[in-house]
Amino acid sequence: MESATNEPAMTKPRAVIAGHASFAAGLVSAVQQIAGKGDGFVSISNAGLSGADIEVTILQALDASSANVLFTDLPAGSCTMSARRLQRSRPGLVVVTGVNLATVLEFAFRPLEESDADAAKAAAEKGRATLMVFP
């Protein structure tokens, strides 16, 4: 199956997005609506979960998807703290925090041949560059 740009459609999730309430699901939904690439992500909500539960949920999502990239909403939030603990046992896990829609869209369009770390870094730079204040 190919997309309109003649690139193979992404069928296997490449990253997990974790955040508060329906934040992650909203990002995945927006990526799907804008680019048709929502299937490249797995979303996780921390709603009603303890820190230990979040860690287990993230671990299960990473294992099920074989993803090595995790996007989180807040740098000091519970999802990020759980992800940082997981990095101790998974040194290849790349965590990007403070994620926004521009970040996730950029990641979705990065070449699959690019390393996860390089794709995540480029996506974070894009997301950071889109933050603006209009007086």
Q: What is the pLDDT of residue 122?
A: 98
> What is the span of the domain harbouring residue 118?
15-129
The single-letter code of the amino acid at 5 is T
Q: What is the mean pLDDT of each run of 10 residues along the chain (135 residues)?
A: 46 93 98 97 97 97 97 97 96 97 98 96 98 96
Residue 53 lies inside a defined structural domain of this protein: yes
Number of domains in the chain: 1
Please check whether residue 102 is in contact with residue 113, taking contact to mean a CB–CB distance below 8 angstroms. no
The pTM is what? 0.90
> Which pLDDT does position 4 carry in this prediction?
44
SS3 content of the chain, % helix, strand, coil (to 5): 50, 15, 35
- State which H helix or E strand residue 89 sits in: helix 78-89
- For residue 12, the model assigns a pLDDT of 87
Task: Count CB-CB contacts under 10 A for residue 59.
Answer: 18
* 56 inside domain: yes
Domain harbouring 62, CATH code: 3.40.50.510
What's residue 38's pLDDT?
Answer: 97
Question: Is 109 among the domain residues?
Answer: yes
